[in-house]
Amino acid sequence: MSAMSTESAISSLDGPARPRDSFQPPWIFRNGHVQTLAGTYLFGRNTDRLTFAAPTVQHLVSVDNGDRVVFHDDCPVAWKPGDRVAIMLHGLAGSHQSPYMKRIAVQLCQHGVRTMRMDFRGCGAGMTLARYPYHSGRSDDLLATLRAVQELCPGSPVSLIGFSMGGNIALKFLGERGPLDGISRAVAVCPPIDLSLTIDFIGMGLARAYDAYFTKTCIQNVRRRLSARPDSVIPAGWFDRPPRTMREFDETFTAPVCGFASAADYYEKSSSRSYLSQVMVPTLLIAAQDDPVIPFTPFLDTSLSSSILLRAPRYGGHIGFVTTRGPAWLDQQIVDWTLS
């Protein structure tokens, strides 16, 4: 599809853009790889100085197979029962400490939103809490977390905010569950809605660098989990021939450990694409057309529910959307949508 026809299609989906809805970076940032790397390294490494008004509290949640996940509760000083709550979901190889998670949680707290930053199985503070790993389709873990949050904050409207893999999980959850009491809004940033196409996409051209990075990181995470929890479930002899690509990782590790017949079976059952027409919650879907990690075509070829607003700037990379002053556009989109 040409750039002009893509813009036309996006315009018909997103409607006329207000000034604050459009994203136009300076020319030096008009490249998907630059956006992605700048968001990760240039503006993503200075979140240690960000602080919350009150100490963060950890809550444990029991899920299946005797595993547990953890979420990190940051409560504004003036928050009271019935005020807004947001559950935040990180991306592949991330955690509650991922820069985008902490940065946006701090801003939401400043606007009176109580944030719950979730660590998926074996991630972050949950490293020793689970024998089984997380994966891109574990929406049941989100349901268990949601129930725990609603018990902790009865009557509060809850927003879901997912990044990359976390965005796919949030969308899958919303589509497969239908309307849920207490869920008021959702945001999905750069979600891989079609996992098989995403894996193919990062296996080509310059994107192979991301495939190699994610594969290496996932193998390292398996090693760390095994060291921290020796009874972690890992296929026998798996380290004798470690995978070289993410597809090999999912074929030899994710699928057999998590109960899928194959990587293809895992991708089909865990992708949110087939659920998007069933989403009933007002949802902001943000996807950059130049994302070097997530293919953009599925967003145009998929039937979206009328509850989903697709905002798809030409530039932005993968969770980038930065200018010379940082990722203010993305942050404002999330905060505005959550408060609306």
The token duo for 4 is 């002009």
- Whether residue 282 contacts residue 298, with contact meaning beta carbons closer than 8 Å, is answered with no
What percentage of residues in the chain have a pLDDT greater than 90?
Answer: 86
**Amino acid at the residue 138:** R
Between 8 and 238, the higher pLDDT residue: 238
Q: Are residues 98 and 242 in the same domain?
A: no
| Cβ partners under 8 Å of residue 225, min gap 6 | 122, 127, 133, 232
Q: Are residues 20 and 70 in the same domain?
A: yes
- Kindly compute the dihedral angle of the four CA atoms of residues 167, 111, 39, 308, in this order, to the nearest 10 degrees: 30
Domain count, the chain: 2
d(CA 130, CA 69): 7
Please give the average per-residue pLDDT across 295-305, as a whole number: 95
pLDDT classification of 46: cutoffs 50, 70, 90 = low
- The confidence score (pLDDT) of residue 15 equals 43
Q: Are residues 211 and 101 in the same domain?
A: no
The yes-or-no verdict on residue 35 having pLDDT over 60 is yes
Q: Are residues 105 and 231 in the same domain?
A: no
* Helices 99-110, 328-339: inter-axial angle, 10-degree rounding: 50
Q: Are residues 265 and 276 in the same domain?
A: no
d(CA 203, CA 212): 9
- The confidence score (pLDDT) of residue 41 equals 87
Q: Are residues 87 and 236 in the same domain?
A: no
Q: Chain centroid to CA 299: how far? A: 16
- The confidence score (pLDDT) of residue 3 equals 33
What H or E segment, with its residue span, contains residue 163?
strand 158-163
Please give the average per-residue pLDDT across 114-137, as a whole number: 97
- Kindly compute the dihedral angle of the four CA atoms of residues 48, 98, 61, 269, in this order, to the nearest 10 degrees: 180
Between 202 and 12, the higher pLDDT residue: 202
DSSP SS3 for 38? helix
- The confidence score (pLDDT) of residue 9 equals 39
Per the prediction, the chain carries an average pLDDT of 92
Q: Are residues 302 and 254 in the same domain?
A: no
Query: What pLDDT, in 10s, does the model give residues 200-252?
Result: 999 999 999 999 999 999 999 999 999 999 999 999 999 999 999 999 999 99
Q: Which of 251, 270, 289 is the last residue of a domain?
A: 270
Query: What pLDDT, in 10s, does the model give residues 150-184?
Result: 999 999 999 999 999 999 999 999 999 877 778 99
C-alpha gyration radius of the chain: 19
Of 13-17, 209-213, 272-276, least confident by mean pLDDT is 13-17
What percentage of residues in the chain have a pLDDT greater than 70?
Answer: 93
Between 8 and 51, the higher pLDDT residue: 51
d(CA 239, CA 301): 39
Q: Could you say which DSSP state residue 305 is in?
A: P
- The confidence score (pLDDT) of residue 7 equals 37
Q: Are residues 38 and 171 in the same domain?
A: yes
Query: What pLDDT, in 10s, does the model give residues 303-320?
Result: 999 999 999 999 999 999
Q: Are residues 142 and 249 in the same domain?
A: no
The yes-or-no verdict on residue 29 having pLDDT over 80 is yes
Burial (CB count <10 Å: 0-12, 13-18, 19+), residue 80: exposed
Q: Are residues 245 and 122 in the same domain?
A: no
The token duo for 271 is 């992708």
Q: Are residues 239 and 278 in the same domain?
A: no
Q: Name the residue range of residue 126's domain.
A: 3-194+272-339
Q: Are residues 281 and 136 in the same domain?
A: yes
CA distances from residue 100 to 26, 95, 257, 333 in whole angstroms, order as listed: 21, 10, 29, 13
| Predicted TM-score (pTM) of this structure | 0.93
Q: Which of 270, 300, 322 is the last residue of a domain?
A: 270
CATH number for the domain spanning 300: value is: 3.40.50.1820
Per 3-state DSSP, the chain is made up of helix, strand and coil in percentages (nearest 5) of: 45, 15, 40
CA distances from residue 117 to 14, 46, 314, 335 in whole angstroms, order as listed: 29, 18, 29, 15
- The confidence score (pLDDT) of residue 42 equals 84
